[in-house]
Amino acid sequence: MNRDELVAFLDEYLQISAYPDKSSNGLQVEGKKEVERVAFAVDTTLRTIERAVKGKADMLIVHHGMIWGGLNYITGINYKRLKALIENGLNLYVAHLPLDAHPEVGNNVELLRLLGLEPKGPFGDYRGLSIGFWGEFERPEPIEKIAQIIAEKLDTTVKTYEFGKRKVKTVGAVSGAGAFALEEAYRKGIDLLITGEFGHADYLTAVDLPQSVLVAGHYKTETLGVKALMKLLKERFGLSSFFIDEPTGL
């Protein structure tokens, strides 16, 4: 498949230009003109690049790219990563917030689907745009049950902070560093916020609100979008593809 045609499809489907994002979304590094095999990963690291090359990929599609607003110096790790990409003709395509927020293949809609929920509405305001979703159970469910489902389906360690309700009906999902949505969750009556990471200040905010939170790991909560996109591209274009798993434990 022609690279530019694939990029044009991704740009439009993911609405790349619609999000106020410090990530340089879209085609960050240009490589081969023809794309037959695509690797998917959460992060752009030297190891994911090397594994994509070893797997004979023509493009690497990631959630976290290597360019965040621009490159001031091409030295150190930036040089190593860029050199590996260019020398092997590997295209690097990035979708950060657009892949969090997508209503069909996004991290957050996929998080809700792990619980058998479909989104009822947008949630998680970030600079004027919602990048998450919320859903609702038919009847209240204990947080322990929800945590067990997430832990099993994501193969991750889950921590829960039951500062608000312990049986919940409404759930908001903002993957990765989504604790910024704590106060919004409380204001909107979202019983449980599911996110990826949780810091000291976030803990204190959740206690004071009070707001119940489920934390499932930044990395693990953001594997969902790239995997869903991988499935879509395979079905729509017949592209050979594979997922590179490089968990951080965080």
pLDDT of residue 17: 94
CATH superfamily of 3-95: NIF3 (NGG1p interacting factor 3)-like (3.40.1390.30)
Question: What residue spans define the domains of the chain?
Answer: 3-95, 101-221
Residue 34 per-residue DSSP state:
B
Q: Dihedrals φ, ψ of 116, to 5°?
A: 75, 20
CA dihedral 49, 55, 58, 62 (to 10 degrees): -50
pLDDT number for residue 143: 98
At residue 20, the pLDDT reads 87
Tokens 């009822």 belong to residue = 120
3-95 matches 101-221 in fold = yes
CATH number of the 101-221 domain:
3.40.1390.30
The length of the chain, given as a count of residues: 250
Decide: helix, strand or coil at residue 121: strand
Residue 71: what pLDDT?
A: 87
Ranges of H-type helices in the chain: 3-13, 46-54, 76-87, 97-101, 107-114, 143-154, 182-187, 200-208, 218-221, 224-237
Model confidence pTM above 0.85: yes
What was the pLDDT predicted at 111? 98
Mean pLDDT per block of 10 residues along the chain (250 residues) reads 98 95 96 98 98 98 95 94 98 98 98 97 95 98 98 98 96 98 98 98 98 98 98 97 97
pLDDT at 72: 87
